[in-house]
Amino acid sequence: MLTSLDPSSLSFLNGMEQIQQRSQRALQEMTTGLKINTVSDAPDQIANLYETRSELSQTQQIDTNLGRVKAEVDTGEAVLSTAVTLVERVQTLASQGATGTTTAQTRQSIADELGGILQQLVSTANTSVGGRYIFAGNTDQQPPYSIDLTQSSPVSAYQGSAATRQIQGADGTTFSVAKTAQDIFDDPTGRQNIFSSINTLRLALLSNDQAGIDAAMPGIQSSGTYLNQQLAFYGQTQNRVTSEMDFGANYEIQLKTQLSGIQDADLTQAITEMQQASTQQTAALSARAKLPKTSLFDFLG
């Protein structure tokens, strides 16, 4: 009767299997560039690996979101800078029109220019970026205002909504990134209504109404200061977004370095391991071949 394999043969086969496993793992590391390809490769590192990957993915998404917001904030700052210049022109025109010696014809011309500026300011309020009206609050798929200079109140009511959108920075904090056109040009609290102030002056000039012109001047004179305050918000937000993006970029590098240390294979070591496994396999087979052979007759009693 034939017996099972002897201990020496079992030991040889077990050793060959271990060598083969080492060789296969080294080959996989060389092929994928990763030292962790399955949970069994490093079970004690899996939780850390998944946590780092998740954090990196979140950081990259936040950076993408900040990039989109940056385009909106940069545009907002640029168009409001232009609006400030327009309002400064309004103040100059107002001073000219308020002079008692100014003729009705000159006031007519000034009123016409104010109408053009009012149209430009409404166009500013209706600025869009990437298909979003950036001053329309949360209702950003339609322009905040329309204008018809043939009407006594040419600028429509605000068509947007409140701006409650918050953006998350790479450090985990959230902050507002936009104001509404209503807050900027048509403040419902009554602190400053730039559209109304300009139109009131325009109508007074058209009527050659000195008292009306004088009554409109305080609103015109304060409009520049108010609009500069709104512009300052966008400048501050620009700085915040840039700071958060810089923080995120540095943190992303840190996470990628950390992830690399966890999962990336040492290719030099993998090549060496594969060469050693091949050498050991060849040596084991050669040694095994030199062992004395037995035949069937050795098992017959």
Task: Strands of the chain (E only): list them.
Answer: 128-129, 132-133, 166-168, 174-176
CA distances in angstroms from 22 to 15, 34, 63, 186, 280, listed in the order given: 11, 15, 41, 73, 11
pLDDT the model gives residue 227: 93
Structure pTM?
A: 0.72
The values of phi and psi at residue 50, to 5°, are -65, -40
β-bridge pairing 174-176 and 166-168 = antiparallel
Q: Is 278 left (phi over 0), alpha (psi -120 to 50) or beta?
A: alpha
pLDDT in tens, the chain (301 residues): 445 656 666 666 676 667 666 666 666 665 666 666 666 666 777 888 888 888 889 999 999 999 999 999 999 999 999 999 999 999 999 999 999 899 999 999 999 999 999 999 999 999 999 899 999 999 999 999 999 999 999 999 999 999 998 999 888 889 999 999 999 998 766 678 999 999 999 999 999 999 999 999 999 999 989 999 999 999 999 999 999 999 999 999 998 888 877 766 555 665 666 667 667 677 666 666 666 665 545 555 5
The answer to whether 157 and 100 are in contact (CB under 8 A) is no
Show me where the domains of the chain are located.
Answer: 53-259
Architecture of domain 53-259: Up-down Bundle (1.20)
